[in-house]
Amino acid sequence: MSRKIYEVREISYTYPTGKMALEDISMDIYRGELVAVVGPNGAGKTTLLKILDGLIFPQKGEVRFMGKPLTEDVLTDEKEMEWFRSRVGFLFQNPDIMLFSPTVMEDVAFGPLHLYEKEKALAVTEEIMKKLGIYHLRDRHPYNLSGGEKKKASIAAVLALDPQVVLLDEPTRDLDLKNRNYILGLIGELRDRGKTVIMATHDLRAIRLADRCYVINREMIFSGRPRELFSREDILEEANLEIPEIVRLLRSVGIEEVPLTLEEAAALLTRHMEKCGWGKLPQDAED
Ligand SMILES: Nc1ncnc2c1ncn2[C@@H]1O[C@H](COP(=O)(O)OP(=O)(O)OP(=O)(O)O)[C@@H](O)[C@H]1O
Ligand SMILES: [Mg+2]
């Protein structure tokens, strides 16, 4: 089986208003990868994810999903549509679009009830709601949830179907620290379970988790590993992203290498201090 999940070739998309949201975008997404799509507001990230989810179709270029063309024609075939929908889950940027039932439980159960017989569907729904810590909200109207609760409910609705490919539009937006940590952990877990995850994000911590990232601003402006991205001030500036503070700290003492974690930063700093003859950092000095 091909390792390529998506092949995107020079696609352009213009909205009916005449606004060109994407121009000549190409990318390859491989099985099991965690990919971040980054870019400033209005860069076309959501438009790109909608194309990868077969909701809209580029006027120019080609998208293939697991080798098959992802076109309007192909998806009008009910079997093809079912095949595609059972493999790809999409978390919308705005949870209100995804939550439309009278209760949270019904929303999360909506997909499973289409896919499985009732008993299994309800068991799967309960399990994912418990995992995401929203089981106590099961009888509430989704309209009355907080932003973070809505986000978790819509993530549960996507994951309840256990899709092979997960498209996440701003998965950590509107979440407090605890829930953001939890969702970042969940994204890592999806990758560890072999899922292919593509997320649009502005969250530096989410970007750090990624195997690869694409930065777009209507056109493709960068593709590479997060570490390379964090060393490219020009690209970070165009993407309206802050240079990570640990990178700025190390630069201020003359270290050009780019750490991804605090542990890496501490190791780089210790090595630098030893080289400069400043001795060791206090916790090492006690040894
Ligand atoms: N339905 C639409 N009709 C017309 N123009 C649209 C529509 N949806 C988005 N656009 C425009 O297309 C461009 C790309 O929008 P998109 O939502 O893809 O950006 P984004 O990168 O997801 O931004 P954000 O970070 O704010 O979510 C923007 O200029 C936006 O105004
Ligand atoms: Mg968006």
- The Å distance, Cα 29 to ligand 2 centre, comes to 20
Q: Could you give the percent of the chain with pLDDT greater than 90?
A: 70
pLDDT tens per residue, range 60-79: 999 999 999 999 999 999 99
Q: Confirm or reject: Cβ of 47 under 6 Å from ligand 1.
A: yes
Do 234 and 256 reside in the same domain of the chain? Answer: no
**Domain CATH for 140:** 3.40.50.300
pLDDT at 272 over 90: no
Do 15 and 57 reside in the same domain of the chain? Answer: yes
Do 234 and 248 reside in the same domain of the chain? Answer: no
User: Would you state the pLDDT for residue 279?
Assistant: 61
Q: Confirm or reject: Cβ of 201 under 6 Å from ligand 1.
A: no
- The Å distance, Cα 46 to ligand 1 centre, comes to 7
Do 82 and 99 reside in the same domain of the chain? Answer: yes
Do 142 and 262 reside in the same domain of the chain? Answer: no
pTM (whole model) above 0.85:
yes
Mean pLDDT of 40-61: 97
Most ligand 1 atoms within 8 A of CB, residue of 12, 19, 215 to mutate: 19
Do 178 and 259 reside in the same domain of the chain? Answer: no
Say how many domains are in the chain: 2
User: Would you state the pLDDT for residue 77?
Assistant: 93
Most ligand 1 atoms within 8 A of CB, residue of 13, 14, 15 to mutate: 15
User: Would you state the pLDDT for residue 224?
Assistant: 97
Q: Confirm or reject: Cβ of 199 under 6 Å from ligand 1.
A: no
| Strand ranges in 147-187 using DSSP code E only, listed in sequence order | 165-169
User: Would you state the pLDDT for residue 65?
Assistant: 97
Helix pair angle (118-131, 104-115), 10° resolution = 130
Do 239 and 252 reside in the same domain of the chain? Answer: no
Do 141 and 183 reside in the same domain of the chain? Answer: yes
pLDDT tens per residue, range 3-20: 999 999 999 999 999 999
Q: Which domain, by its residues, includes 266?
A: 244-287
The pair of three-digit structure tokens given for residue 89, joined into one six-digit string: 């889950």
The b-or-e profile of 18-32 (16+ CB within 10 A means b, else e) is eeebbbebebbbeeb
What do you get for the CA distance between the two ends of the chain, in Å?
52
Q: Confirm or reject: Cβ of 46 under 6 Å from ligand 1.
A: yes
Do 10 and 55 reside in the same domain of the chain? Answer: yes
pLDDT tens per residue, range 178-215: 889 989 999 999 999 999 999 999 999 999 999 999 99
